[in-house]
């Protein structure tokens, strides 16, 4: 817990109790797990980063974009300027996904 607080506090001043509350909420939601056998408690991610991202993104798509992946992508591209290189790479990824579906 202390290590997590130190990392977050280095980025932006954040209180220890705020970090503790965040970890408690994440544990309740199944995103983190707490090892009660150790003192101080040790918190770990419950799932891999990839699985967590998939879950959060799926939830975001349904809640904020009415289930439309297209709306999410359009909003993401409009929200910040993408380099031509990034756009080419995105286009290549889309082509690869399209080929997999066929």
**Alpha carbon 91 to chain centroid distance?**
23
Domain ranges for the chain, please list them.
Answer: 2-45, 49-101
Total-model pTM: 0.60
Of 97, 73, 70, 72, the C-alpha closest to 87 is: 73
pLDDT tens for residues 15-44? 989 999 999 999 998 889 999 888 888 899
Q: Which of 75, 78, 29 is nearest to 52 (CA)?
A: 29
In the predicted structure, residue 52 carries a pLDDT above the cut 80: yes
pLDDT by residue (tens digit) across 53-94? 998 999 999 999 999 999 999 999 999 899 999 999 999 999
């Amino acid at each position: 817990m202390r290590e997590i607080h130190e990392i977050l506090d280095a980025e932006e001043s954040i209180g220890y109790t705020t970090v503790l509350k965040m970890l408690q909420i994440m544990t309740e939601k199944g995103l983190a797990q707490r090892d009660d056998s150790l003192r101080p408690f040790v918190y770990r991610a419950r799932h891999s980063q990839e699985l967590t991202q998939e879950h959060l993104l799926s939830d975001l798509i349904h809640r904020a974009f009415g289930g439309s992946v297209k709306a999410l992508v359009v909003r993401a591209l409009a929200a910040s300027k993408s380099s031509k290189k990034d756009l080419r790479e995105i286009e290549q990824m889309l082509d690869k996904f399209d080929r997999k579906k066929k």
